A and B are shown apart, each in its own frame.
Chain A
Amino acid sequence: MNAAARIVRVALIVSALCAIPHIVGAQSAPPPAVYALTHAKIFTLVGPAIEDGTLIIRDGKIAAVGTGIDVPSGAQVIDAKGLQIYPGLFDSITQMGLREIGAVSSTVDETETGDFNPDVVAATAILPSSEHITVTRAAGITEVLAVPASGGFDSSGGSGLLGGQASAIHMSGWTINEMLIKKSAAMVIDWPTIETRTFDFSTFSIKEKPYTEAKQEYDKHVDELADWLARARHYAQALGHAGPADYDADVRLAALVPVVRGQLPVLVFADEARDIRHAVEFCDQQKLKMILAGGLEAYKVKDLLRSKNIPVILRPVLTLPNQQDDPYDRVLSQPAELAAAGVKFAFASFDNSFARRLGQNAANAVAYGLPYEEALKAVTVYPAQIFGLADQFGTLEPGKLANLIVTNGDPLELTTDVRYLFIRGQLTSTDNKQRRLYEKYLNRPVN
């Protein structure tokens, strides 16, 4: 298709979307309860792809999916001939809603001061009207985990050992209450590392210290972490056996109770093999339910991860290797290696503005050996499973939430467009600030 035709087509799609009355964010009347998506190729991720299939959405959920399904009366029909339906993508580590403009600290709420903040919850600070939400969902991402203390450039300084609680959200909603999937989906632990050289932004220079000193600091941090967990255990005991007068209430220890009881997983950030190994040993001893985040060198400890059943949220494969003498494609080829070893993993952007590169990252892993279906699952059903949300979404099955995308091709490929996007069964706009600016300046009169 030539450029001009393409533009006309884009404009048609945009105006077509505007013409459909019931797009979330653009209407006041209640949306229809029933949709029928017909003649689509449907990738349910629980079986082979369905050719010329129908998918029925009723009351926010998938009511039926397959062939030879009758369209219910009153349903809004979307003819998806030539299009494909997939579960919406799930980006399981982002700072969505917690950071708007990286360099402006007043718009950044992602990392609290101090090393131990188990009580802070991402959902509290998520900005529902963040421009990142609309831009990101236009790329087919229907859910994310907003994770405190997970990266980025917060001018307030250090991230902590206990960074706070990550919240799972839908990428649509007038308020956080409407968006919320799970307020507390994981407790963030930023695993300490033995660093002899660090970059000091206050002086813009590299700071060095002897190894023994760095090791002492590391040991101190691990001891502190163990101490917090020990106190949380005592606190949990007191909760169970004593009356309210017998102990002092403590919001931080209270926040750790589900962690020490094994009900809330810990999302442990570590990249180097030594740190991962130590973190695994620690969580094993402490009987914590561990999810590894980062994992640049997870391949070095893949047997350990598999034997302990520890899933990994992988840093983007579009990241340079950790060591100069690593093979140039070390990070790109890791997912294939982990999949072959039976380690469960998901892809995530670890970012906000680059969240829309989620599919690109998964595709690059395929280019370096990961089976395609594994890549697709690693941005949909696997992260849902890892965070205990797979009963709600991640595959296209009756009873699941209708969080899905209708595309003109492979959702991991660079040039694919998302034509329709459903979140909780509602047809949701893919319009955003960037598209509006595009249309505005495309139509600037020639100077």
Chain B
Amino acid sequence: MNPFRAALITTSVLLASVATAAPPDTVAPLAPAAIVIQNATILTVSHGTIEHGAILIQNGKIAEIGQSVHAPSGAQVIDAAGEFVMPGIVDCHSHIAVDGSVNEGSVSVSSIVNIAEVLNPDDIDIYRDLAGGVTTANILHGSANSIGGQTVVIKLRWGQPAAKLPFEGALPGIKFALGENPKRSNFSRPGQPKRYPATRMGVEETIRGAFTEARDYQRSWADYNKRVSGGDKSAIPPRRDLRLEPLVEVLEGKRYVHAHCYREDEILMLLRVAKEFGFKVRTLQHVLEGYKVADEIAASGAGASTFSDWWSYKVEAFEAIPYNAAIMARRGVIVSINSDDAEEATHLNQEAAKSIKYGGMTHDDALKMVTLNPAMQLGIDQRVGSIDTGKDADLVIYNHDPLSAYAVVQKTIIDGRVYFDRARDIAGRADLEKEKKSLLEKEKKAAEKKPDATVEIGKKSNKPGTAKTDASKPDATKPPDKTPAEPPKPPQNDLATGGVL
């Protein structure tokens, strides 16, 4: 009935009423001191393919790679005969693991808010993407504002608390957005006043205005610090401005800019503004018309993180082409393929493969677009993105060449710990089903005692713990076979909303 049902189905949901935290069988066992993966085809990404090779993992790091390795006694052995090992997938544009909406959309500069503060480690999409080979994700604020919220890079350490998710040492970022979304082209509510900016001209001035303020703010602190270090005891500190502080970090190169953009003109606009204020754009996100200005992007040093084959969901996506990644790469841009969507993230390896068909990319270059290139874009390529000695043991094992639609992830390893294991997942399903049944029985019995209770499903279901007792109470007239309705989650990505976000 609801026209958005299809979309709500394709987007994920916040929290089931039955399962609250990580199912016990899916929580990764502790990392053994050493693991040896052997007999595998190893796609190192950085230095070619090793047939019938082995990898030694020690203390969470890749200790040795080769035809054979020196395994210490007691090492756990993973026989990967006939299987392919590649570096864990790095998704440069994700909105998983966020509690609630990704948009603070009320203002045009929302740099005051930080996605890192609303990480939800129980989001089932973490596990689903992990099962798709993703080990690292760039968790971004939405695109409702010219300058959006602060962002964070995480590892998909399913079962760990929120504090353990952020990628240690990765520079934080901030989301910018250009074009239809920040000017609210496709989204207006009756009676709601228009928000500035409503044009691409205004988007530019919003960013210029904010950075002009940030530069003054930076200067006033520099003046103050100078006076203090000069022994001036009467110096009064400037009033702290939490909105401008992240922008000063951008000016000082301590925070990366990840800029949502589509059209060629707005891409050049941002590169111009960045030059004017002396900061770098770290990544252009979506950048669907990047192929039109690939040389200019390459010259600026910005990376490009794009979709494989999305198009036509709005005007600025109508000249999107699946050859975008290949053209930009050919012109010297560091290109990654991202998901912007919890489902799309489960097959980024396949999305990368499409550039072999559309633009003639090589096998290795295609693989780089979901491993080493996004790692470079996020400044974490010394740690992840390829299979090299000394790097984090973040690996995926597939049963086929990962650039095929027939490849299935068998294991996903982060920091030398097997966080996803297909065999373990399948083996645990019967127990989960049993547990779910017994919980439903329990709730049914509780409901039978209070037959008059009117249930308002979902009232408290966003809170783990209360959900179990309130939300799953079945109504007497409700067919008993159905698990309680899940609260729909507002569409989060750019496609699902036709540009609303």
Q: Which A residues fall within an 8 A CB radius of B?
A: 1-3, 6-7, 9-10, 100-104, 111, 131-132, 135, 151-155, 157-159, 161, 190, 192-199, 201-204, 206, 208, 210-212, 215, 221, 271-274, 296, 315, 318-320, 322-325, 327-329, 350, 352-354, 356-357, 359-360, 363-364, 366-368, 412-417, 434-435, 437-438, 441-442, 444, 446-447
- Cα A135 to Cα B475 in complex, Å, equals 49
- Cα A111 to Cα B2 in complex, Å, equals 12
Chain B interface residue bracket vs A: 35 or more
CB distance from A431 to the nearest CB of B (A): 13
Contact between chains at B127 and A103 (CB < 8 Å): no
Contact between chains at A414 and B16 (CB < 8 Å): no
A contact residues around B296 at 8 Å (CB): 447
Q: Which of A131, A151, A202 lies at the interface centre, i.e. has the most chain B CB atoms within 10 A of its CB? A: A151
Contact between chains at A101 and B312 (CB < 8 Å): yes
Contact between chains at B3 and A154 (CB < 8 Å): yes
A contact residues around B312 at 8 Å (CB): 100-102, 131-132, 352-353
Question: Known contacts A104-B315, A325-B436, A328-B131: does B481 contact A274 (CB below 8 Å)?
Answer: yes
B contact residues around A327 at 8 Å (CB): 425-426, 429
Kindly identify which residue among B9, B128, B354 contacts A328, using a CB–CB cutoff of 8 Å: B128
A contact residues around B475 at 8 Å (CB): 211-212
Q: Could you list 5 A-B pairs, sorted by A, with CB under 8 Å?
A: A7-B360, A135-B311, A153-B3, A197-B485, A441-B294
Query: Does B499 sit within 8 A of A, measured CB to CB?
Result: yes
- Cα A417 to Cα B322 in complex, Å, equals 14
Contact between chains at B490 and A206 (CB < 8 Å): yes
B contact residues around A153 at 8 Å (CB): 3-4, 7, 313, 496-498
Known: A153-B7, A274-B481, A320-B346. 7 other contacts (CB 8 A): A158-B1, A193-B2, A197-B488, A198-B4, A323-B483, A325-B432, A327-B425
B contact residues around A204 at 8 Å (CB): 189, 490, 500
Query: Does B463 sit within 8 A of A, measured CB to CB?
Result: no
Contact between chains at B5 and A193 (CB < 8 Å): yes
Q: Which of B7, B313, B357, B458 lies at the interface centre, i.e. has the most chain A CB atoms within 10 A of its CB? A: B313
- Cα A38 to Cα B358 in complex, Å, equals 27
Chain B 312-334 per-residue mask, 1 if CB under 8 angstroms from chain A, else 0: 11110011011100010011000
CB distance from A153 to the nearest CB of B (A): 4
CB distance from A444 to the nearest CB of B (A): 8
CB distance from A359 to the nearest CB of B (A): 8
Query: Does B186 sit within 8 A of A, measured CB to CB?
Result: yes
Number of A-B contacts (CB under 8 A): 244
Contact between chains at B1 and A192 (CB < 8 Å): yes
Which candidate, B194-202, B249-257, B449-457, is the interface stretch facing chain A? B449-457
Q: Which B407-451 residues sit within 8 Å CB-CB of chain A?
A: 407-408, 425-426, 429, 432, 436
- Cα A220 to Cα B444 in complex, Å, equals 27
B contact residues around A446 at 8 Å (CB): 295, 331
Chain B 329-357 per-residue mask, 1 if CB under 8 angstroms from chain A, else 0: 01100000000001110110010011011
Q: Which of B190, B311, B353, B487 lies at the interface centre, i.e. has the most chain A CB atoms within 10 A of its CB? A: B311
B contact residues around A318 at 8 Å (CB): 343-344, 346-347
Chain B 446-483 per-residue mask, 1 if CB under 8 angstroms from chain A, else 0: 00000000111111000000000000000101110111
Q: Which B80-134 residues sit within 8 Å CB-CB of chain A?
A: 124-125, 127-128, 131
Contact between chains at A210 and B455 (CB < 8 Å): yes
- Cα A206 to Cα B489 in complex, Å, equals 8
Contact between chains at B404 and A197 (CB < 8 Å): no
Query: Does B6 sit within 8 A of A, measured CB to CB?
Result: yes
- Cα A109 to Cα B128 in complex, Å, equals 35
B contact residues around A9 at 8 Å (CB): 360
Contact between chains at B291 and A441 (CB < 8 Å): yes
Contact between chains at A441 and B313 (CB < 8 Å): no
B contact residues around A366 at 8 Å (CB): 405-406
Question: Known contacts A3-B360, A197-B485: does B432 contact A102 (CB below 8 Å)?
Answer: no
Q: Which of B344, B356, B359, B406 lies at the interface centre, i.e. has the most chain A CB atoms within 10 A of its CB? A: B406
Closest chain A residue to B7, Cβ basis? A153
Contact between chains at B361 and A201 (CB < 8 Å): no
Q: Which of B131, B359, B360 lies at the interface centre, i.e. has the most chain A CB atoms within 10 A of its CB? A: B360
- Cα A259 to Cα B455 in complex, Å, equals 39
Closest chain A residue to B319, Cβ basis? A437
Question: Known contacts A329-B131, A441-B292: does B313 contact A102 (CB below 8 Å)?
Answer: yes
- Cα A135 to Cα B310 in complex, Å, equals 12
- Cα A444 to Cα B477 in complex, Å, equals 66
Contact between chains at A159 and B458 (CB < 8 Å): no
A contact residues around B354 at 8 Å (CB): 414-415
Closest chain A residue to B462, Cβ basis? A206
B contact residues around A352 at 8 Å (CB): 312
Contact between chains at A360 and B490 (CB < 8 Å): no
Closest chain A residue to B496, Cβ basis? A153
Query: Does B214 sit within 8 A of A, measured CB to CB?
Result: no
Contact between chains at B313 and A196 (CB < 8 Å): no
- Cα A442 to Cα B329 in complex, Å, equals 11
- Cα A359 to Cα B357 in complex, Å, equals 14
Question: Known contacts A210-B456, A323-B16, A328-B425: does B314 contact A367 (CB below 8 Å)?
Answer: no
CB distance from B461 to the nearest CB of A (A): 9
B contact residues around A329 at 8 Å (CB): 131
Question: Known contacts A221-B1, A327-B429: does B488 contact A206 (CB below 8 Å)?
Answer: yes
Kindly identify which residue among A111, A196, A442 contacts B3, using a CB–CB cutoff of 8 Å: A111
- Cα A366 to Cα B323 in complex, Å, equals 27
CB distance from B430 to the nearest CB of A (A): 11
- Cα A192 to Cα B1 in complex, Å, equals 5
Contact between chains at B498 and A296 (CB < 8 Å): no
Q: Which of A193, A271, A320, A447 lies at the interface centre, i.e. has the most chain B CB atoms within 10 A of its CB? A: A320
Contact between chains at B477 and A215 (CB < 8 Å): yes
Q: Which of A2, A201, A212, A327 lies at the interface centre, i.e. has the most chain B CB atoms within 10 A of its CB? A: A201
Contact between chains at A193 and B360 (CB < 8 Å): no
Contact between chains at A360 and B343 (CB < 8 Å): no
Query: Does B403 sit within 8 A of A, measured CB to CB?
Result: yes
Query: Does B266 sit within 8 A of A, measured CB to CB?
Result: no
Query: Does B18 sit within 8 A of A, measured CB to CB?
Result: yes
Contact between chains at B314 and A103 (CB < 8 Å): yes
Closest chain A residue to B125, Cβ basis? A320
Contact between chains at A274 and B309 (CB < 8 Å): no
B contact residues around A438 at 8 Å (CB): 291, 321, 323, 327, 358-359
Chain B 232-244 per-residue mask, 1 if CB under 8 angstroms from chain A, else 0: 0000000000000
- Cα A412 to Cα B16 in complex, Å, equals 35
Kindly identify which residue among B3, B7, B295, B408 contacts A367, using a CB–CB cutoff of 8 Å: B408
CB distance from A334 to the nearest CB of B (A): 14
CB distance from B454 to the nearest CB of A (A): 6
Contact between chains at B327 and A324 (CB < 8 Å): no
Contact between chains at B4 and A274 (CB < 8 Å): no
- Cα A18 to Cα B104 in complex, Å, equals 51
Question: Known contacts A101-B312, A328-B131: does B6 contact A367 (CB below 8 Å)?
Answer: no
Query: Does B220 sit within 8 A of A, measured CB to CB?
Result: no
Contact between chains at A328 and B4 (CB < 8 Å): no
Contact between chains at B486 and A324 (CB < 8 Å): yes
- Cα A206 to Cα B485 in complex, Å, equals 13
A contact residues around B269 at 8 Å (CB): none
Kindly identify which residue among A132, A325, A360, A364 contacts B18, using a CB–CB cutoff of 8 Å: A325
Query: Does B50 sit within 8 A of A, measured CB to CB?
Result: no
Query: Does B180 sit within 8 A of A, measured CB to CB?
Result: yes
- Cα A195 to Cα B491 in complex, Å, equals 17
A contact residues around B436 at 8 Å (CB): 325
Contact between chains at A417 and B357 (CB < 8 Å): yes
CB distance from A180 to the nearest CB of B (A): 24
Question: Known contacts A2-B362, A102-B498, A103-B180: does B186 contact A415 (CB below 8 Å)?
Answer: no
Closest chain B residue to A9, Cβ basis? B360
- Cα A158 to Cα B1 in complex, Å, equals 7
Closest chain A residue to B293, Cβ basis? A447
